[in-house]
Structure 1
Amino acid sequence: MTAFKGLRRQGEQFRDLVVRHRVAEIMFYVLIASFFLLETRLHRNLFYLFLPFFIAWLARREIWQRLGRSRLCGLVLLYLGYFWVSQFWSLGYDAEDFMNATRIFLFIVIFLAVGITLFERAPTAVAKLSMVTFVVAAVTAGMALVLFLTTSEPFHDRFEGFGRAGHPILGAHLYAAALLVVVAHLLPRAESLSLRLLYETAVVLFALVIGLSLSRGPILATALTIVVIALLRGNLWIYLSAGLLLATIPVAYAIFGLELGDLVSRGASSRPALWSAAWELIGEAPVFGHGLMAEVAFRNEAGILYRSPHNILLANLVHGGVVALALVLAIYALAFAAVLRQVRQPEVLLAGGLLLFGFLAGQTDYRLFYVNLNPEWLTFWLPLAILGRYDLAEPDTQELGSDSI
């Protein structure tokens, strides 16, 4: 008993250290920024390294009680719980699948809980995260762009960044998220002309690398999202950002001797064949789907097999059926409703922009949101964490301090 009390006391001291010195907060910023720095395995290992500190941050009953009052959190937990249960009717399900499904479930819950409590406890947390993301993304994009232009032939080779952005399509999604951080959150908060011009320069940089990725889905989704943000916010500098984005890609293509039509015709898309194959699988299990861990494959016209239908809604239908589709659409509906209620808040506008981009880009990409640490987390789970503090069913009027978290 004495040993148990000693361990408990040490655990409390460790947690106090994590909270007092904002260790978990800093680690959260590093985890997001590392999307632009680390490869998949290293990035996920970094998350594992941070887990004890995140768990220490969350080791208070009051935190979970507050999260339990959020309608959005409840719906998200229902969605995750349904997919976790769906593993049991997956064909070929085994013990390893159980461990993987449970691990991912816990990781997403921990990530969301840390994000929501962090953003609620520290009103400037979103601003700090935005600045860290902007700096890291801009520096890595600039370095990768110089390397690309000096060693590759644009439009014959596709732009690749560093870390998770080393894949052209994933890079386009990541730099689109960075662009939205600038336009939706940093620009509206900028107070000096020089800072605004710096951010507009970053818009051009991110637009250029997105265009050079030759990823049609993210390019279109980025353009549509920026236009919607401009219409919602009505800020002159955001209008300028939208204009710069829409002008940068055509101008860059003209400089390198490519027409926009060439982007459309650079290669036949496999999406229609993949979607057709997905509908065949959906017809076999329309209500509950084939289960989270079902080993499904989608064949294109060339006979190449893909693990993803490249459509987030179809992926939910394949693995979770109509039930999963209804849940994910309900999450989007509740989240977008929260955005419209608080759209004048820069952090809410950012969350809405990330969600909208993820939804639009998800019509031609993504597998599932129930995945290990992936770029999809930036366009689904992170914005939901930002919105979580605005969706408490019974919000406290007292601001949380370090002693209450």
Structure 2
Amino acid sequence: MRPVEAGRRRWHPGFLFTPRLALPLTLAAGLLLPSNAAWSTFFYILGLPTIGWQLWRGARPDAANRPLLAMLALWAWSSLTIAWDRNISGQGDGHGYWLLNALCTLAFLLCFDFATRQDASARRRAVSAFILCAVPTALLSIALFAVQDHWTGRLGGWGALKTPVWGASVIVICVLLTLGRVAEAGPRRWLYATALVPMLVYLPLNGSRTALLSLAMGVMMLGLSSWRAFRALVIAGLCALAALAGVVLMRPVWVKAVIGNFLARGTDCHITIWRTAWGLFLAQPVIGYGPSARLPILPHGACPAYPSPHNLYLSLLVYSGLVGFALYGLCQILLCRHVLRRQRGFQRALALALLAVPLVSGLSDLTQVIKGPSPLWYIIWLPMLLALRAGPESPGTSPASAASPPRG
């Protein structure tokens, strides 16, 4: 190779495809772009080439990290189920669709792994991008809800918040991460506390009961570890209630919408869906049916046509059988042990609270772990990835630890 003159760096297109740039942009794009289709296109353009370039340069996953290996094993088994995928209802997506989803999910996992090993500050920048973009997305979602003609439905929103239950879980994760910033001693903590207000307005309008339950559990865990974070949440909650009350005075019909979201929905046909999913699991318990399996339920009453299991645990059992369920459990056990060994106090409570969000929110509406780009990246994978890098980052981490020198 021709030597580079001192003080000058040769530019080449590979500088654009760095994980520490792709990771925050990917997290931001899911919130700011209007649809999953737009987010997917963005990731095809940036995320996939970034990981392809890194693999070409010699980057490999951290083989010494057991939680990461368990996560990759969960991904691998869930992807392998495509080989015997059974579209039992005739309404699911094809193998090519799920292969592309699996490839993108792997690229997302590797992007986080490579970025956080190449750059000690990459994890923090990714969280900052997530919080920074969640605030305007929540405000835009509330605004779109306010201008609609009828308030009989649930607050959906924009980007990753468009699907109501998934959107609520995404906001809960962002609330917990924002509380993590509030707990840090620094001049910006009240700016982060202010950022909590639109998120706390969003959640009651959305009406997801499991998301609110996961938030209550997380806040309880954090409040016991940090009085500053608990106080900030109380103040932000009071401000959110005042803002919500002001909006309701202008739009009294919202009161009926909010009450209906919490009480009038009943079980939303979940009992029928869960019984059907459990019966399918018992018929093929070990390896599952593959990711395109939809439940053979025809529309009736509140029941949609050919639904997914609407439950993270049943989804794991139906799509990937006992093997996939066990691998997911192994991920949680290894990550919890990792956090308990490396963290103390508030940071430990924050990591465990993040891990609890999909476990609680997943009681009602989560699906395939290999679907993506989708809000499931934020809800299922992001808490695990953040817990994976919980603990003090090594400031001397070298890019060579994640990738060998570029081929000359």
Q: What TM-score does the superposition give when structure 1 sets the normalisation length? A: 0.81
Return closer, same or farther for 1:107/1:144 CA change in 2, 3 Å cut-off: closer
Unaligned residue ranges in structure 1 (runs of 5+) = 6-12
Q: Does 1:318 align with 2:318?
A: yes
Of 73, 88, 101, which residue of structure 1 is paired with 2:68?
73
Q: Partner residue of 2:291?
A: 292
Q: Partner residue of 2:155?
A: 159
Q: Partner residue of 2:274?
A: 275
The whole-number CA distance in structure 2 between the counterparts of 1:294 and 1:137 is 32
Of 120, 123, 127, which residue of structure 2 is paired with 1:123?
120
Of 20, 29, 33, which residue of structure 2 is paired with 1:34?
29
Unaligned residue ranges in structure 2 (runs of 5+) = 2-8, 404-408
Q: Offset of 1:244 from its aligned partner?
A: 4.9
**Is the Cα–Cα contact under 8 Å of residues 351 and 390 in structure 2 kept in the other structure?**
no
The whole-number CA distance in structure 1 between the counterparts of 2:162 and 2:313 is 26
Q: Does 1:225 align with 2:223?
A: no
**Is the Cα–Cα contact under 8 Å of residues 166 and 365 in structure 2 kept in the other structure?**
no
Deviations 1:37-82 (A, max 9, x none): 1111000010000121232134343x32x51222112222222222
Q: Partner residue of 1:201?
A: 194
Q: Partner residue of 1:110?
A: 107
Identical pairs, percent: 22
Q: Partner residue of 1:328?
A: 328
Of 206, 215, 219, which residue of structure 2 is paired with 1:213?
206
Return closer, same or farther for 1:220/1:123 CA change in 2, 3 Å cut-off: same
Q: Offset of 1:91 from its aligned partner?
A: 2.7
The DSSP-based 3-state class of the residue aligned with 1:385 is helix
**Is the Cα–Cα contact under 8 Å of residues 120 and 397 in structure 2 kept in the other structure?**
no
Return closer, same or farther for 1:102/1:153 CA change in 2, 3 Å cut-off: closer
The whole-number CA distance in structure 2 between the counterparts of 1:318 and 1:327 is 14
The whole-number CA distance in structure 2 between the counterparts of 1:134 and 1:398 is 24
The whole-number CA distance in structure 1 between the counterparts of 2:26 and 2:131 is 14
Judge which range, 99-108 or 308-317, deviates more: 99-108
Q: Partner residue of 2:406?
A: none
Q: Which protein is richer in helix relative to its size?
A: 1
Q: Offset of 1:398 from its aligned partner?
A: 9.0
- Deviant stretches of 4+, over 6 Å: 13-16, 248-255, 345-348
**Is the Cα–Cα contact under 8 Å of residues 28 and 129 in structure 2 kept in the other structure?**
yes
Return closer, same or farther for 1:159/1:45 CA change in 2, 3 Å cut-off: same
**Is the Cα–Cα contact under 8 Å of residues 273 and 300 in structure 1 kept in the other structure?**
no
**Is the Cα–Cα contact under 8 Å of residues 315 and 368 in structure 2 kept in the other structure?**
yes
* Matching residue's letter, 2:204: G
Q: Offset of 1:206 from its aligned partner?
A: 0.5
**Is the Cα–Cα contact under 8 Å of residues 134 and 181 in structure 1 kept in the other structure?**
yes
Deviations 1:219-240 (A, max 9, x none): 2222222222333xx1112212
Return closer, same or farther for 1:345/1:68 CA change in 2, 3 Å cut-off: farther
**Is the Cα–Cα contact under 8 Å of residues 31 and 47 in structure 1 kept in the other structure?**
yes
Aligned length: 381
The whole-number CA distance in structure 2 between the counterparts of 1:37 and 1:356 is 26
Q: Partner residue of 1:377?
A: 377
Of 32, 42, 46, which residue of structure 2 is paired with 1:46?
42
For the aligned residue pairs, the C-alpha RMSD in angstroms reads: 3.5
Return closer, same or farther for 1:297/1:243 CA change in 2, 3 Å cut-off: farther
The whole-number CA distance in structure 2 between the counterparts of 1:348 and 1:123 is 19
Return closer, same or farther for 1:190/1:76 CA change in 2, 3 Å cut-off: same
* Matching residue's letter, 1:293: S
* Matching residue's letter, 2:325: L
The whole-number CA distance in structure 1 between the counterparts of 2:44 and 2:309 is 29
Deviations 1:257-316 (A, max 9, x none): 749875532222221121111111112112222233334444676253243111100111
Deviations 1:319-365 (A, max 9, x none): 22222211111111111222222333877665443321111101111
**Is the Cα–Cα contact under 8 Å of residues 275 and 314 in structure 1 kept in the other structure?**
yes
